[in-house]
Structure 1
């Protein structure tokens, strides 16, 4: 695969991470105390991602990293569903599975390992 495709996939993975954080904010907006949850839940999602799922996660490992990704993206989809955005929840789930699946291709993983 060429580098342009690989970096495009990695850019879409980053967009997927931002969408997951936004989904937590949407859920927080639909529940009380709104003023607290609308920022606390996205920050908690980012903290989990930073600690366990990011490429340089201090606590990420062979099993921990994929498990953290499944938990974060799964909870983001559940949050959208619970907030009444069922179509967006399904779209996020499919998008997450596709781009994260593509990111596991050896030719794309090598781009992350080089950094």
Structure 2
């Protein structure tokens, strides 16, 4: 059953779904930080929008300005700042959980069998 390509594809797409959940959690973390700071009405939606724009332009699989070095650097910055934002907002346990989750799912997404799934979708 290990050689069944269906099992590998299910695992790969599950990892990619978790990567997407991780991205949503990072955006939410910026919103949480914005909620705790003034001007709340501005930061609560502006910071998540800035994070989404950075991700769209530099870190997404089809990023216009992403590259061999830019994409991983922006990912580290976004997830690192999201974890720091949660920490600063008083959610230390969630900050650590987000950071660990981000490292694990993004490391799994680098596996060759999972990267192939992303590359197939870009064709």
**Could you state the TM-score of these two structures normalised by the residue count of structure 1?**
0.99
Match of 1:35 in 2: 41
* Residues 1-115 of structure 1 aligned to structure 2 (within 5 Å): 2-115=8-121
> Runs ≥4 in structure 1, deviation > 4 angstroms?
none
Distance 2:45 2:85 in 1: 14
User: How many matched pairs?
Assistant: 115
Residue 46 of structure 1 deviates from its aligned partner by 0.1
Residue 49 of structure 1 deviates from its aligned partner by 0.1
Deviations 1:55-93 (A, max 9, x none): 000000000000000000000000000000000000000
For residue 37 of structure 2, give the secondary structure of its aligned residue in structure 1: coil
Question: Which structure 2 residue ranges, 5 or more long, are not aligned?
Answer: 1-6
**Could you state the TM-score of these two structures normalised by the residue count of structure 2?**
0.93
Residue 32 of structure 1 deviates from its aligned partner by 0.2
